[in-house]
């Protein structure tokens, strides 16, 4: 695997950070909209109302999901590193046993208690009775890693799907009338008409005119949604690729149970180790990119 083919960049991280900040800014922005309506009413205009949209609630939850994603990835990396270390120890010990016996030594004749894994304080299913059971235990540990990776993918998909609703609510609100008697100024334009209601955002505006600022603000957010969608899609593909590699490791470990000779088992374990190293490299890359 070429990890660089999945490389995440500093620019992509900035997109992610800005999207999280945008989600966090939405409550204050939407709380200012009734102030805009009231300001227009006091100026003699008919009071406008913006209907509540439950999809706006997703912004708060999605912000939390994205902020917590690094911690979940870090925990997965730590778990994965531990399981890879277990497999590496098992592989090393199998080679040592082979050195003391021979490549043709039947696996069934090896005392499973010579493996350090046999002294594990916890088991996914049941305590082992032979070497085959130890391999099954290793497979179950990587199945757990695979399952938690799938949960990360579910979060990526959920946040992405809900972003369409958040975008729709935002654009609709910004384009909404600020009063019932005139089509303009829109809510966005009127928000920028007063410092007390101006959305907090990180772009340099080209003008002090509320209409210009409103247009640039809205355009930047729409572009941010597009950029974040691309980053999120890549992240989803990355995690799916990791999941598929872990699935391969799990299947290889189960297949290794059929090895009858130590030489055959060593050969299978060497291939599995390569796969787990790829998985750990991918997890490390994702965790490092997400790390604040």
279: left (phi over 0), alpha (psi -120 to 50) or beta: alpha
pLDDT at 1 over 50: no
Q: In a 3-state reduction of DSSP, which class is residue 261?
A: strand
Q: What percent of the chain shows pLDDT beyond 90? A: 95
Q: How many whole angstroms separate alpha carbon 34 and alpha carbon 1?
A: 54
Radius of gyration over alpha carbons of the chain, in Å? 28
Q: Are 286 and 13 in contact (CB under 8 A)?
A: no
Q: How confident is the prediction for the chain on average, in pLDDT?
A: 94
Within 13 A of 288's CA, how many CA atoms are on the CB side? 10
pLDDT at 292 over 80: no
Q: How far is CA 131 from the centre of its chain?
A: 36
Quick: pLDDT tens for 65-74: 999 999 999 9
Quick: pLDDT tens for 60-95: 999 999 999 999 999 999 999 999 999 999 999 999
pLDDT at 212 over 50: yes
Q: How many whole angstroms separate alpha carbon 33 and alpha carbon 10?
A: 34
> Between the CA of residue 66 and those of 32, 91, 156, what are the distances in Å?
25, 37, 9
Please give the average per-residue pLDDT across 149-169, as a whole number: 95
pLDDT given for residue 7 in this prediction:
83
Quick: pLDDT tens for 102-114: 999 999 999 999 9
List the structure tokens of 37: 């309506």
List the structure tokens of 71: 């911690």
């Amino acid at each position: 695997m070429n990890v660089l083919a999945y490389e995440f960049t500093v620019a992509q991280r900035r997109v992610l950070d800005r999207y999280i900040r945008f989600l966090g800014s939405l409550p204050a922005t939407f709380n200012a909209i009734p102030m805009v309506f009231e300001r227009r009413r006091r100026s003699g205009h008919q009071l406008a109302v913006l209907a509540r949209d439950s999809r706006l609630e997703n912004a708060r939850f999605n912000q939390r999901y994205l902020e917590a994603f690094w911690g979940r990835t870090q925990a997965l990396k730590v778990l994965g590193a531990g399981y890879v270390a277990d497999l590496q120890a098992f592989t090393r010990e199998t080679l040592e046993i082979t050195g003391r016996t021979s490549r043709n030594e039947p696996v069934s004749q090896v005392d499973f208690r010579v493996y350090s894994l046999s002294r594990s304080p916890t088991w996914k299913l049941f305590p082992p009775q032979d070497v085959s059971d130890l391999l099954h235990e290793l497979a179950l540990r990587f199945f757990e890693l695979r399952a938690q990776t799938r949960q990360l993918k579910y979060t990526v998909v959920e946040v992405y799907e809900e972003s369409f609703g958040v975008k729709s609510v935002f654009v609709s609100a910004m384009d909404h009338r600020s009063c019932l008697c005139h089509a303009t100024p829109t809510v966005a334009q009127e928000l920028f008409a007063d410092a007390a209601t101006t959305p907090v955002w990180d772009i340099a505006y080209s003008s002090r005119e509320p209409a210009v600022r409103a247009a640039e603000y809205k355009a930047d957010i729409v572009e941010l949604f597009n950029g974040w969608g691309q980053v999120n899609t890549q992240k989803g593909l990355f995690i799916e690729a990791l999941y598929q590699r872990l699935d391969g490791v799990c299947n290889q470990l189960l297949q290794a149970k059929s090895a009858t000779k130590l030489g055959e088992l060593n050969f299978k374990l060497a291939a599995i180790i390569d796969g787990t190293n790829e998985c750990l490299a991918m997890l490390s890359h994702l965790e490092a990119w997400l790390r604040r």
